[in-house]
A = this chain, B = another copy of it.
Amino acid sequence: MPYRYDYPRPALTVDCVVFGLDDKDLKVLLIERTSDPFAGRWALPGGFVEMDESLDAAARRELREEAGLEEVFLEQLYTFGAVDRDPRGRVVTVAYYALVNTVEHPLRAASDARAAAWFPVLSPPALAFDHAEILRVAHQRLRGKVSYQPIGFELLPERFTLSQLQQLYETILERRLDKRNFRRKVLSLGFLEETAHTQRDVSHRAARLYRFNEAKYRRLVEKGFLFELI
């Protein structure tokens, strides 16, 4: 391939679809745009890739700068490069999706005071650019991936009840699951561990709290164990 430092280059950005769980709804984090194009509309957090940072680093930096989020689950989603996706010129964006548990990672206002807020994934406001399409692809990926990789735990606090976990799957997969079958299945996988704790301050029998044991999971994967949950 010829090498052409003098040729025009597309601009390169990253955009992040941040999923969070709020009560029983799956939410996405959006930032309000303050300037044109699409001033006043909501958009995915994101921005330009610097010359000396990797794509992953750029995505993490944007999450930190725009929402105060650090050390969250983050994975590359897809790269969107339609010629006309930005009215100002050629901009290619590498989209990521992130999973955060909203309890242990509360939002911090963006440094430049732009609004950041959670919106229902199933009924988001009108979005800037092609961000509705990016959100759609991210949601589809999450639904597809949650059944065969233990990423759902990223949306929950460190300790959670089996009912919380079941509700999470019911929300993401958009269907009801059988309580007994769900518990038997998820416990049989062997990477959840009971903690000594139970729920507090609930006006009914307190449920046992469980924890995802990443080390156990890794060991199972290394042994060739492929799990499928639901």
* Interface of A toward B, CB cutoff 8 Å: 1-5, 7-13, 46-49, 51-56, 76, 78-79, 81-83, 88-90, 92, 94
Q: Are the CB atoms of B90 and A7 closer together than 8 Å?
A: no
A49→B81 CA distance, assembly (Å): 10
Q: Contact check: which of B46, B81, B89 meets A5 at CB < 8 Å?
A: B89
A207→B187 CA distance, assembly (Å): 47
Q: Are the CB atoms of A54 and B83 closer together than 8 Å?
A: yes
Q: Are the CB atoms of B81 and A3 closer together than 8 Å?
A: no
Q: Are the CB atoms of B48 and A4 closer together than 8 Å?
A: yes
For the complex of A and B, the 5 pairs showing the least CB-CB separation, nearest first, are A55-B81, A1-B47, A9-B9, A79-B79, A79-B94
A147→B119 CA distance, assembly (Å): 35
- Nearest B residue (CB) for A94: B79
Given pairs A7-B48, A10-B49, A76-B78, 12 additional interface contacts (CB within 8 A): A1-B13, A2-B48, A4-B48, A5-B88, A8-B51, A9-B11, A10-B51, A12-B92, A49-B92, A51-B83, A53-B83, A76-B79
Shortest distance in angstroms between A154's beta carbon and chain B's nearest beta carbon?
Answer: 20
Q: Kindly list chain B residues whose C-beta atoms are within 8 Å of the C-beta of A90.
A: 51-52
- Nearest B residue (CB) for A82: B54
A96→B168 CA distance, assembly (Å): 33
Q: Could you show 15 A-B contacts with beta carbons less than 8 Å apart? A: A1-B13, A1-B47, A1-B48, A2-B48, A4-B11, A5-B11, A8-B51, A9-B9, A10-B12, A10-B49, A12-B92, A49-B81, A49-B92, A56-B81, A76-B78
A7→B11 CA distance, assembly (Å): 9
Give the most central of A11, A54, A81: most B CB within 10 Å: A81
A55→B85 CA distance, assembly (Å): 12
Q: Are the CB atoms of B47 and A2 closer together than 8 Å?
A: yes
Q: Kindly list chain B residues whose C-beta atoms are within 8 Å of the C-beta of A78.
A: 76
Q: Kindly list chain B residues whose C-beta atoms are within 8 Å of the C-beta of A79.
A: 55, 76, 79, 94
Q: Kindly list chain B residues whose C-beta atoms are within 8 Å of the C-beta of A53.
A: 83
Shortest distance in angstroms between A206's beta carbon and chain B's nearest beta carbon?
Answer: 38
A84→B9 CA distance, assembly (Å): 18
Q: Contact check: which of B1, B9, B46, B56 meets A12 at CB < 8 Å?
A: B9
